[in-house]
């Protein structure tokens, strides 16, 4: 379907994922978990900071 030599961003992502899973499979799960944890943690922290500043300024 896709020409292998025409690299879109999505194709690059897929090739990079395949390369990482082939040579260093243990890194992807850890990085995925850390990214998910950091995403939720930063969202909660920003929410708490926003709420606390809103409470203290009123």
Task: Kindly state whether residue 13 falls inside one of the protein's structural domains.
Answer: yes
How many domains does the chain fold into? Answer: 1
The confidence band for 57, taking pLDDT boundaries of 50, 70 and 90, is: low
Burial (Cβ within 10 Å: 0-12, 13-18, ≥19) of residue 34: exposed
Q: What does the pLDDT look like over 16-31, one tens digit per residue?
A: 666 666 666 555 677 7
pLDDT at 27: 59
Distances (CA, A) of 48 to 34, 35, 38, 40: 21, 20, 15, 12
Task: Kindly state whether residue 4 falls inside one of the protein's structural domains.
Answer: no
pLDDT at 53: 74
Provide the mean pLDDT of the chain. Answer: 68
Task: Kindly state whether residue 1 falls inside one of the protein's structural domains.
Answer: no
Helix (H), strand (E) at residue 1: none
For the entire predicted model, the pTM comes to 0.33
- Return the structure tokens found at 53: 């500043």
Domain limits for position 36 = 9-57
Q: What is the CA radius of gyration of the chain?
A: 19
Task: Kindly state whether residue 3 falls inside one of the protein's structural domains.
Answer: no
pLDDT top residue among 57 and 32 = 32
């Amino acid at each position: 379907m896709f020409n292998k030599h025409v690299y879109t961003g999505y194709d690059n992502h897929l090739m990079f994922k395949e390369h990482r899973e082939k040579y260093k499979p243990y890194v992807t799960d850890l990085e995925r978990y850390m990214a998910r944890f950091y995403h939720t943690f930063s969202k909660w922290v920003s929410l708490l900071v926003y709420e606390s500043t809103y409470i203290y300024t009123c």
